[in-house]
């Protein structure tokens, strides 16, 4: 399943990591993950979310605020019953762990470019293969995963299609135009609308929308720490002014949570 990120040859287990026939070696960290992101593939010293962003997301998600999203994600994953699956852009592993619970007999992989995120994520489900890697160079073999999860994460369709066999697909979970609308109205003078189906125009040839559904609920955040964490885990945490962010943290907030699940299948 695993391939070398430098030469794309198969990786085999070694004493404390993996290696390929070309003698490229990659060690396993003490936390249990494999770092398959060579320095020449990095655009910065520590790409991806930093420790503060990861910790904010971990606190918010572990408090159960988005539990309905994770529950439905796990149900949809179980319906597909893949033999092998991958969570692309797994972050600190909250959603990945729910997928793993729903697919106990499957071989699961998860990757993120953020080392800080994967360090924490691999503690949630040690039975999975956790990777620090780029979603533009996923170190898995062609047609090796029947199920790919992309939860609030960008997606490289070239790599996704390479990984999918016929009949496999991507379960994409993303926000709708109503998601966190009340928060955005507090942060910006003008809230920009967007098309909930814009991502469908980017589907490559051979990939079709096979199923779509939405989930929405109201979420009341009375704890200022929860409001601060929500800001820190979204792009709004750095797009909005410091004054607007402080005002959000100061007062209780009820927001609409609205997400869309799309099963995008390769024919």
pLDDT in tens, 118-151: 999 999 999 999 999 999 999 999 999 999 999 9
CA–CA gap between residue 92 and residue 219 (Å, rounded): 22
pLDDT in tens, 58-106: 999 999 999 999 999 999 999 999 999 999 999 999 999 999 999 999 9
The label of the residue with tokens 């910065």 reads: 44
CA distances from 200 to 17, 105, 209 (A): 39, 31, 8
The proportion of the chain whose per-residue pLDDT surpasses 70, expressed as a percent, equals 96
Contacts of 159 (CB under 8 A, 6+ apart): 135, 136, 137, 138
Q: What domains are there in the chain, each with its CATH number?
A: 12-266 (3.40.50.150)
pLDDT in tens, 168-207: 999 999 999 999 999 999 999 999 888 999 999 999 999 9
Give the side-chain half-sphere CA count within 13 A for 214. 13
pLDDT surpasses 80 at 43: no
pLDDT in tens, 5-32: 999 999 999 988 999 999 999 999 999 9
pLDDT surpasses 70 at 39: no
Give the sign of the dihedral formed by CA 17, CA 54, CA 59, CA 77: negative
pLDDT in tens, 48-61: 677 888 999 999 99
Q: Are 248 and 183 in contact (CB under 8 A)?
A: yes
Annotated binding residues for S-adenosyl-L-methionine: 66, 92-93, 179
Q: Are 20 and 9 in contact (CB under 8 A)?
A: yes
What local confidence, expressed as pLDDT, does residue 229 receive? 96
What local confidence, expressed as pLDDT, does residue 51 receive? 85
Annotated binding residues: 4, 7, 20, 24, 66, 92-93, 179
| Secondary-structure percent of the chain, ordered helix, strand, coil, rounded to 5 | 30, 25, 40
Q: Are 153 and 174 in contact (CB under 8 A)?
A: no
Annotated binding residues for Zn(2+): 4, 7, 20, 24
Q: Which pair of structure tokens corresponds to residue 75?
A: 């149900």
């Amino acid at each position: 399943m695993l391939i070398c990120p430098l030469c794309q040859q198969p990786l085999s287990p070694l004493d404390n990591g993996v290696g390929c026939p070309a003698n490229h070696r990659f060690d396993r960290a003490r936390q249990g993950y494999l770092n398959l992101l060579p320095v020449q593939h990095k655009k910065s010293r520590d790409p991806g979310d930093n420790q503060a962003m990861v910790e904010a997301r971990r606190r918010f998600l572990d408090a159960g605020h988005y539990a309905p999203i994770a529950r439905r994600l796990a149900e949809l994953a179980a319906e597909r019953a893949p033999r092998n699956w991958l969570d692309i852009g797994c972050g600190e592993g909250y959603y990945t762990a729910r997928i793993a619970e729903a697919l106990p007999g499957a071989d699961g992989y998860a990757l993120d470019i953020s080392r800080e995120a994967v360090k924490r994520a691999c503690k949630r489900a040690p039975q999975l293969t956790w990777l620090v890697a780029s979603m533009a160079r996923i170190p898995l073999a062609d047609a090796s995963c029947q199920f790919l999860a992309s939860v609030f994460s960008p997606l490289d369709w070239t790599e996704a299609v390479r990984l999918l066999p016929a009949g496999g697909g991507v379960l994409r979970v993303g926000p709708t135009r109503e998601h966190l609308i009340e928060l955005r109205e507090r942060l910006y003078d003008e809230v920009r609308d967007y098309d909930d189906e814009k991502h469908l125009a980017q589907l490559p040839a051979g990939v079709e929308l096979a199923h779509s559904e939405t989930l929405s609920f109201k979420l009341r955040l009375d704890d200022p720490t929860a409001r601060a964490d929500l800001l820190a885990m979204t792009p709004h945490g750095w797009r909005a002014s410091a004054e607007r962010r402080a005002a959000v943290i100061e007062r209780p907030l009820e927001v609409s949570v609205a997400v869309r699940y799309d099963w995008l299948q390769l024919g």
